[in-house]
Amino acid sequence: MPTKNERDPVMVLFRHDLRLSDNLALCAATEKNRPIVTAFILDEQSEGVRPLGGARRWWLHHSLSALTADLQKRGLKLVLRRGPMAETVTALAEEAGASTVYWNRRYDPAEIAADTDMKAALRERDLETESFSGHLLHEPWRLKTGSGGPYRVFTPFWRALVEAVHPRPPADRPENLTPFEGKVATDTLEDWHLLPTKPDWAKGLRDTWTPGETGAQRRLTEFLQGRGDGYKARRDVMGEAGTSGLSPHLAHGEITPFQIWQALDGDTDLAGEDARTFRKEIGWREFCWHLLFHNPKFATENFNRDFDAFPWQRDDKALRAWQRGQTGYPVVDAAMRQLWQTGWMHNRARMIVASFLVKDLGLHWRQGEEWFWDTLVDADPASNPANWQWVAGSGADAAPFFRIFNPVLQGEKFDPKGNYVRGFVPEIEALPDKHLHQPWKAPAEMLDKAGIKLGDTYPRPMVDHKAARERALEAYKSVKKAG
Ligand SMILES: Cc1cc2nc3c(=O)[nH]c(=O)nc-3n(C[C@H](O)[C@H](O)[C@H](O)COP(=O)(O)OP(=O)(O)OC[C@H]3O[C@@H](n4cnc5c(N)ncnc54)[C@H](O)[C@@H]3O)c2cc1C
């Protein structure tokens, strides 16, 4: 048993909270006035914890590098360890002689289980532990419907959250941190090989993003000081930077919803309906976490079990064409290439490509969810499956299955000037707007003039949307029968 001493170090764990400001665990440690050991644990081994995809690994590398630099400025080192949470943290606490361990809570059920084990192991060794509210406005177990269960429908959930939760002011970045002077072994970031090398596919990610707390704050400021003007209407226009781009920063906890709330209450250009809509979108994130907390198998099982009867297709060639942006539907291809190049995709485009995969191609939503998990820098264990299930119709408060997006009409409506398609599908950029979203309808001489040979320089549509729609509705009958 360790003997407690007033000078024993306090250990603070970083996981989904790669920031110094509004970090309650770090603030509590600072108040102890004792040396602080800061550590990041990469846990891909605890049972049920989903290993990160490639794009998030890239982000994590850079975010940890930014956090290390921020801590160094304050005299602190970030210890890096890899392994199952409970064993790794108890071993490190022992090596550092820490008698207290603090962390911010995680809300994925598998991660909660890992943290529960960790807490038991630490307490068994007589260490003091405390956890603090993490990356959500609401604690998912506290908000309940009138009958005492979890919410399944967004509107009443959001109403209840707004009524019950008065977001606390965010905590300041602590300045007077006492460094831990002892020595403990640490991995290096390079040891973890988080960056892609052969091939290095991350150029577009490097050009697009600045992982880390400073990058997150900059994005928020730019968005609130002009870029977000007209958010409510512009958020659906795919060729414009009309949304915040905060999702990967939120996913890594480089910024908190409390900081966003405070910024919205302050002096900002985002007001009225635009601000209300933006808050509500953050509300969807809360709702997705609420759903995951109460449905641990959300990423692998249909929320609506009637969908277990759906006759999904298996077609690896079709899946590959979708993944590579070679479907012959320009808006789908632009979106899938945006994802591959930048690690992010516009929300409207996510809905279009998800509908296309599930309904036009008849492939299981899980195949799309897994591709997004690997390629999105904001891949999130709650929002990703919740939205895939929402589009597929199998989710909570989901879009009805028979709402099948027409990729041509969606393109014409939400990319009317073709900026989005031209940005990511340059081989058809010379087509006039009128034919940009359905090149196969363009007259032969126009295609010639634009340098396009369908089936050669750009694919013909891989399915006929109208026929695919009929097939999807036919397949859906088996779900209705099961229900
Ligand atoms: C099939 C599909 C998969 C998705 N997968 C993810 C995912 O893995 N991670 C992820 O963060 N979002 C996911 N989304 C939701 C949404 O597309 C992104 O959050 C949004 O595009 C991020 O861009 P932004 O930060 O500029 O959004 P903004 O419009 O600026 O919105 C602000 C914030 O609100 C939250 N938000 C907005 N829309 C949603 C939504 N529908 N569901 C949950 N939260 C939302 C995000 O945290 C976002 O950063 C998915 C949507 C679909 C249709």
* pLDDT tens readout for residues 291-349: 999 999 999 999 999 999 999 999 999 999 999 999 999 999 999 999 999 999 999 99
Q: Of all atoms in ligand 1, which is nearest to the CA of residue 287?
A: 43
Same fold, 135-171+213-294 and 305-482: no
Find residue 119's DSSP bridge partners. none
Would you call 232 exposed, middle or buried from its count of C-beta atoms within 10 A (0-12, 13-18, 19+)? middle
Residue 199 contacts by C-beta under 8 Å, 6 or more apart in sequence? none
Which residue minimizes the CA distance to atom 17 of ligand 1?
347
Instruction: Please work out whether the CB of residue 281 comes within 6 Å of at least one atom of ligand 1.
Output: yes
Phi then psi for residue 40, to 5 deg, are -115, 130
Work out the number of other CB atoms within 10 angstroms of the CB of residue 341: 17
Q: Which of 365, 371, 373, 390 is catalytic?
A: 365
Tell me which residues of the chain have a pLDDT lower than 70.
1-4
Task: Output the pLDDT for position 4.
Answer: 65
Instruction: Please work out whether the CB of residue 68 comes within 6 Å of at least one atom of ligand 1.
Output: no
Cα 319 to middle of ligand 1, angstroms? 23
Class of the domain covering 10-134? alpha beta
Q: Of all atoms in ligand 1, which is nearest to the CA of residue 247?
A: 49
Domain extents in the chain: 10-134, 135-171+213-294, 305-482
Under a CB-based contact definition with an 8 Å cutoff, are residues 454 and 439 in contact?
yes
Q: Of all atoms in ligand 1, which is nearest to the CA of residue 379?
A: 8
Instruction: Please work out whether the CB of residue 291 comes within 6 Å of at least one atom of ligand 1.
Output: no
Task: Output the pLDDT for position 267.
Answer: 87
Q: Which of 227, 247, 420 should be mutated for ligand 1, with most atoms under 8 A from CB?
A: 247
Distances from the Cα of 34 to the Cα of 5, 10, 234, 439, 452, angstroms: 10, 7, 49, 67, 68
**Helices 383-392 and 365-375, interaxial angle, to 10°?**
150
Say if domain 135-171+213-294 classifies as CATH 1.25.40.80: yes
Spatial distance between the Cα atoms of 110 and 101, rounded to a whole number of angstroms: 20
Work out the number of other CB atoms within 10 angstroms of the CB of residue 286: 21
Which residue minimizes the CA distance to atom 48 of ligand 1?
247
Q: Which of 347, 427, 429, 440 is catalytic?
A: 347
What angle is formed at CA 340 by the lines to CA 334 and CA 344, rounded to 5 degrees? 85
Say whether 284 is catalytic.
yes
Instruction: Please work out whether the CB of residue 105 comes within 6 Å of at least one atom of ligand 1.
Output: no
Tell me the HSE value of 152 on the side-chain side, using a 13 A CA sphere: 13
In this prediction the pTM is 0.97
Say whether 440 is catalytic.
no
Q: Which of 268, 387, 389, 403 should be mutated for ligand 1, with most atoms under 8 A from CB?
A: 387
Say whether 365 is catalytic.
yes
Instruction: Please work out whether the CB of residue 284 comes within 6 Å of at least one atom of ligand 1.
Output: yes
Q: Which of 139, 284, 370, 412 is catalytic?
A: 284
Instruction: Please work out whether the CB of residue 339 comes within 6 Å of at least one atom of ligand 1.
Output: no
Cα 383 to middle of ligand 1, angstroms? 7
Instruction: Please work out whether the CB of residue 55 comes within 6 Å of at least one atom of ligand 1.
Output: no
Task: Output the pLDDT for position 1.
Answer: 46
Instruction: Please work out whether the CB of residue 355 comes within 6 Å of at least one atom of ligand 1.
Output: no
Cα 238 to middle of ligand 1, angstroms? 14
Fold (topology level) of 305-482: DNA Cyclobutane Dipyrimidine Photolyase, subunit A; domain 3 (1.10.579)
Instruction: Please work out whether the CB of residue 378 comes within 6 Å of at least one atom of ligand 1.
Output: yes
Say whether 176 is catalytic.
no
Instruction: Please work out whether the CB of residue 351 comes within 6 Å of at least one atom of ligand 1.
Output: yes
Q: Which of 94, 128, 222, 281 is catalytic?
A: 281
Instruction: Please work out whether the CB of residue 277 comes within 6 Å of at least one atom of ligand 1.
Output: no
Spatial distance between the Cα atoms of 404 and 349, rounded to a whole number of angstroms: 14
Q: Which of 16, 287, 383, 410 should be mutated for ligand 1, with most atoms under 8 A from CB?
A: 383
Task: Output the pLDDT for position 483.
Answer: 76
Which residue minimizes the CA distance to atom 44 of ligand 1?
285
Under a CB-based contact definition with an 8 Å cutoff, are residues 258 and 22 in contact?
yes
Under a CB-based contact definition with an 8 Å cutoff, are residues 427 and 459 in contact?
no
